[in-house]
Amino acid sequence: MPHTDPWHPFKEAVADPDQWISNWKRKTHRHVVAHLLPDAPEEIIHACGALPVAISGASRPIEKAYAHVPSYICGHVAGALEMQLRGHLDYADAIVITYVCDSTRNLYHTWKHLFPQEPLHLIRLPKRLDMFAASGAFLRDEFFRFSEFLSAALGCRVSEEKLVNSVQVYNQRREWLRRAYQIHQNCPETWTVYKLRLLMYSALIMPPEAHMACMAALPWEHSEPSPPSRLRRVYVRGKLWEPPELAILFDEAGFVLAGDETSAGYRHIEQDAPAHFDPWQALADRFLKTVPYAGYFSEPHAGPEALLERVRSSRADGVIFIDPKFCETFGFDTPDFQKILKQNSIPSIVLETSPSGGQAEQLRTRLEAFSELMGNSG
Amino acid sequence: MVNQLQSIGKLKTINADYWKTVHSARKDGKFIVYTNAFSPVELLYSMDFLPVYPENHAVILGAKRLNEKAMKAAAEMGYSPNLCSYARTDLGDMHAKTSPVGGMPKPDLLVVSNCQCGTLHKWFEAIARAYKVPMILLDVPHAGNATNGEEEQAKTYVRAQLEQLVDVMEDISGRPFDMGRLREVLLESQKASQLWEEALSLAAHVPAPLTVFDQFIAMAPIVAQRGTSVATDFYRQMVDELHERVNQKIGSVEPERFRLFWDNLPMWPELRSLSDLLARKGVALVSAFYTYCWTNLAVSPEDPFGQWSGEWAGMRYSTHINLERRIEAYAALAKKFKLDGFLFHSNLSCKMISQFIPDLKQALSEKTGLPGLIIDADHNDPQHYSMSSLMLRLEAFIEMMGSSRSRSES
């Protein structure tokens, strides 16, 4: 009997993603390609007939991985290795690591050393977002090289036609998700941060076609704007929405997401791949137009100013930085980014999240205090 | 007992002169560029941009234990104590101003290459914002899993960035790039690099005429003045002295009981204490990963841009970030330097080099049969380690080596 809760498919996927993916694989007999966040080209994996799934290593208890990496390596990387060591990625037919920082680059080599038989690929995302042409040409080639890896590993071939189709499918799904964000901003008490996170995180593991079919069953048409006057609009910058309880804590604290540039948040869906005769280049262009991840380079002075502009445009009451502990890329940005906000009387808070999660009560207290602060500043 | 190298005594003057030169650069019609070790420093010199290294400056403060205030200032600025302590020293010292060399002169340009690490890129962004000066990142695609045939696009990408760098320097200085000058600087750089490599290789003799502590102190010119005759002249003298020692069988540590390898960056605030402890126990650190990095940075004067693009896009500078190559390289060094064991500095401030250490130690133990000790510490922040605890572990490790040797000899 079908479940009556339209949110159930998303809850099921997010509650135990490893099990969900394994079940999917058993039913469909298709390939699964697991990738690290951010910025893996899911469309290319999809065009190969495989399911792209994001490896969600952060906030998992880490024990086995610390036999291979020091305890001061970020939880995203250590957690991914932990998952592999525990067999939680046994469903994967290939692993893709996107090189965005030293730790992810190193993880590739550790993985290769420990699991030499596993098909593994490193996508070298260019950091020079200020050199559009040169980076775009390099990345196009890099994406093509990735497709050749998939072809060898999975016995598939990514034709241009298939890729064009996959680009369209993913663009469609992103449009749905952007709509979900808008509805959340209008009706945050029914389309909560928690529900938004369900949609975003289930999108990281569910096939886009099935995901869109499930989204179609959501109560879009029953959503009427309700003025969130007592709720605080917050802009979030950070790596991931971790720990998982964070979304619930946001709802409890009375927050509305005015903007979200986390890797698995709005940043992940804001840009579509443009209509282009060359789908490889279209994907490269999409990457270059996306809000920069902390590990990429644009003009240094522009970084804080651009954040300020995005925060202002979003009409946020305050900014929350989610900085993973031991993450050098975010750690070096946050002080100057906070400074410019302070100079412009926009309150902000830094949540330093632990590699293994488990800080819900601490985070609750801090978010409640921040909510009060925003109320006093407003 | 430690036999000090006489040539190292010249470094005081060399280093002082270097800082005088950088502080008077503008009066001499030159420009100041902050850069990192693995950048095309010869190109910078050839265009009258004097390279100044925030890393180097941080080392000076750390080694002299003058960086406590700077790191406190960095914490007050919002930088987590879990970030690189070189960076925290440097960023904090902009406010704390405890530098014994007059501080860092204001830069005209920042140039950083991420083939060394991504932390430098982020650190330099913070500096660029503080000084409101232009910054160029040389983004080098890691050659992790690409074969030579697939690297053309990577080379093209790197070359485009090098050409942009030249344009920016021409704009700032108003002077055109001169390939002839670059070639001269590269020739000089090659000489210094070859002499540096020769110096390090001489430690393969028994007893070793120099230790890694000598190398840590002596590396300043190859880092900061590679491409100048200052570096070449200094290393020529040092190599001559080392050859004399080899001829006379004078070791740096006497008696030399054990020969070890030091992995990762030094513990700058503890050079003296570690050197003294190890010397008392008859342990000579004869080879190190860190000092070897500067043996092959000079490209040939023929087609330097092609070589930089190719070497970076290739594997030359990537050994330390490739676990398998590091295992092979260390195993080869174990034979060459007749090692008895490895000391692995698990350095919280350098996650890039430290991340591999557990697997590196395990693999080397299997490959070479040599013991290794992991030391949890930091290259510039004493708050991240306890020297007492570390000394105990080192002593226990040395005793263990002694017992193993006695058993195998009996």
Span B351-408, pLDDT tens digits: 999 999 999 999 999 999 999 999 999 999 999 999 999 999 999 999 999 998 888 8
Alpha carbon distance B335, B343 (integer Å): 16
The reported pLDDT for the residue numbered B143 is 72
Residues of A within 8 A of B164 (CB-CB) are 131
The reported pLDDT for the residue numbered A115 is 98
Task: Please name the member of A102, A114, A295 whose beta carbon is closest to the beta carbon of B352.
Answer: A102
Is pLDDT of A351 > 90?
yes
Residue A118 — pLDDT band, cuts 50, 70, 90? very high
* Lowest-pLDDT choice from A64-68, A278-282, B30-34, B153-157: B153-157
Decide if A127 and B77 are in contact by the 8 Å CB cutoff: no
Residue of A nearest to B159 (CA): A134
Average pLDDT on B233-241 reads 97
Which residue would you say has higher pLDDT here, B289 or B54? Answer: B54
Decide if A300 and B128 are in contact by the 8 Å CB cutoff: yes
CB neighbours of A309 closer than 8 A, spacing ≥ 6? Answer: none
Which residue would you say has higher pLDDT here, B309 or A169? Answer: A169
Residue B310 — pLDDT band, cuts 50, 70, 90? confident
Residues of B within 8 A of A113 (CB-CB) are 323-324, 359, 363
CA B368 to chain centre: 26
**CA-based diameter of chain B, in Å?**
73
Least Cα distance to A346 among A237, A242, A247, A241 occurs for A237
Residues of A within 8 A of B95 (CB-CB) are none
Task: Please name the member of A68, A72, A335 whose beta carbon is closest to the beta carbon of B82.
Answer: A72
Residue B2 — pLDDT band, cuts 50, 70, 90? confident
Decide if A67 and B358 are in contact by the 8 Å CB cutoff: yes
Q: Phi/psi zone of residue B142: left (φ > 0), alpha (ψ -120 to 50 degrees), beta?
A: beta
Residue A230 — pLDDT band, cuts 50, 70, 90? confident
What tens digit of pLDDT does each residue of B124-133 get? 999 999 999 9
Is pLDDT of B293 > 90?
no
CB-based contact A346:A376 (threshold 8 Å):
no
Alpha carbon distance A200, A207 (integer Å): 13
SS3 call for A324: strand
Residues of B within 8 A of A109 (CB-CB) are 144, 321-324, 356
Given 3-state DSSP classes, what are the helix, strand and coil percentages for chain B, each rounded to the nearest 5?
60, 10, 30
Q: Which two tokens stand for residue B288?
A: 């190190």
Minimal Cα–Cα distance from A21 to chain B, Å?
A: 27
CB-based contact A227:A284 (threshold 8 Å):
no
Residues of A within 8 A of B363 (CB-CB) are 113
Minimal Cα–Cα distance from B170 to chain A, Å?
A: 19
Minimal Cα–Cα distance from B146 to chain A, Å?
A: 9
Q: HSE-up of B358 (CA within 13 Å, CB side)?
A: 16
Decide if A141 and B128 are in contact by the 8 Å CB cutoff: no
Is pLDDT of A272 > 60?
yes
SS3 call for B306: helix
Decide if B142 and A105 are in contact by the 8 Å CB cutoff: yes
Residues of B within 8 A of A101 (CB-CB) are 118
Alpha carbon distance A186, A11 (integer Å): 22
Decide if A145 and B117 are in contact by the 8 Å CB cutoff: no
Is pLDDT of A43 > 90?
yes
Minimal Cα–Cα distance from B94 to chain A, Å?
A: 14
| Residue B158 burial (CB count, 10 A) | 26
Which residue in this structure is represented by tokens 């594997």? B315
CB-based contact B203:B337 (threshold 8 Å):
yes
Residue B146 — pLDDT band, cuts 50, 70, 90? low
Residue of B nearest to A136 (CA): B157
10 Å CB burial of residue A309 (0-12, 13-18, 19+) is exposed
10 Å CB burial of residue B396 (0-12, 13-18, 19+) is exposed
Is pLDDT of B314 > 70?
no
Residues of A within 8 A of B137 (CB-CB) are 127-128, 297
Task: Please name the member of B78, B118, B354 whose beta carbon is closest to the beta carbon of A334.
Answer: B78
* Lowest-pLDDT choice from A141-145, B189-193, B297-301: B297-301
Alpha carbon distance B57, B224 (integer Å): 10
Least Cα distance to B190 among B238, B254, B235 occurs for B235
Residue of A nearest to B378 (CA): A72
Which residue in this structure is represented by tokens 């190193």? A106
* Lowest-pLDDT choice from A268-282, A336-350, B71-85: A268-282
Task: Please name the member of A72, A109, A350 whose beta carbon is closest to the beta carbon of B356.
Answer: A109
Peptide bond into A38 cis (omega under 30): yes
Residues of A within 8 A of B132 (CB-CB) are 301
User: How many residues does this entry show for chain A?
Assistant: 378
Which residue would you say has higher pLDDT here, A359 or A263? Answer: A263
Residues of A within 8 A of B128 (CB-CB) are 300-301
User: Considering chain A, what is the average pLDDT of its residues?
Assistant: 93
Average pLDDT on A105-117 reads 96
Task: Please name the member of A105, A127, A332 whose beta carbon is closest to the beta carbon of B144.
Answer: A105
CB-based contact B66:B100 (threshold 8 Å):
yes
Phi, psi angles (nearest 5°) of residue A120: -140, 140
Residues of B within 8 A of A326 (CB-CB) are 82, 351
CB-based contact B328:B360 (threshold 8 Å):
no
Alpha carbon distance B291, B288 (integer Å): 6
Task: Please name the member of A295, A297, A335 whose beta carbon is closest to the beta carbon of B77.
Answer: A335
Instruction: List the single best residue of B157, B159, B162, B167 to mutate versus A (max A Cβ within 10 A).
Output: B157
Residue of B nearest to A323 (CA): B80
Residue A275 — pLDDT band, cuts 50, 70, 90? confident
A191: DSSP letter: S
Minimal Cα–Cα distance from B90 to chain A, Å?
A: 13
CB-based contact A51:A31 (threshold 8 Å):
yes
Residue of B nearest to A66 (CA): B358
Residues of B within 8 A of A102 (CB-CB) are 117-119, 321, 351-352, 355
Average pLDDT on B188-195 reads 95
The percent of residues in chain A predicted with pLDDT above 90, rounded, is 85
Alpha carbon distance B285, B210 (integer Å): 9
Decide if A112 and B324 are in contact by the 8 Å CB cutoff: yes
Residue A356 — pLDDT band, cuts 50, 70, 90? confident
The reported pLDDT for the residue numbered B149 is 43
Edge-first strand listing for the sheet containing B258-263: B283-288, B258-263, B341-347, B372-377
Q: Which two tokens stand for residue A13?
A: 């996927």
The reported pLDDT for the residue numbered B393 is 97
Angle (CA) A284 A285 A288, round 5°: 90
pTM score, whole prediction: 0.96
Is pLDDT of B148 > 50?
no
Average pLDDT on B36-54 reads 94
Minimal Cα–Cα distance from A300 to chain B, Å?
A: 5
Is pLDDT of A194 > 70?
yes
What tens digit of pLDDT does each residue of A76-95 get? 999 999 999 999 999 999 99
CB-based contact A28:A221 (threshold 8 Å):
no
Residue B300 — pLDDT band, cuts 50, 70, 90? confident
Task: Please name the member of A106, A112, A328 whose beta carbon is closest to the beta carbon of B321.
Answer: A106
The reported pLDDT for the residue numbered B317 is 55
Angle (CA) B342 B343 B348, round 5°: 140
Minimal Cα–Cα distance from A122 to chain B, Å?
A: 7
Decide if B83 and A331 are in contact by the 8 Å CB cutoff: yes
The reported pLDDT for the residue numbered B309 is 86
The reported pLDDT for the residue numbered A348 is 97
Q: HSE-up of B132 (CA within 13 Å, CB side)?
A: 0
Decide if A72 and B348 are in contact by the 8 Å CB cutoff: yes
Task: Please name the member of A113, A138, A141 whose beta carbon is closest to the beta carbon of B323.
Answer: A113
For chain A, how big is the Rg over CA atoms in Å?
20
The reported pLDDT for the residue numbered A106 is 94
Decide if B139 and A331 are in contact by the 8 Å CB cutoff: no
Residue of A nearest to B127 (CA): A300
* Lowest-pLDDT choice from B56-60, B169-173, B275-279, B403-407: B403-407
Cβ contacts below 8 Å, chain A against chain B, sum to: 162
Residues of A within 8 A of B355 (CB-CB) are 69-70, 73, 102-103, 106-107, 110
Task: Please name the member of A108, A138, A294 whose beta carbon is closest to the beta carbon of B153.
Answer: A138
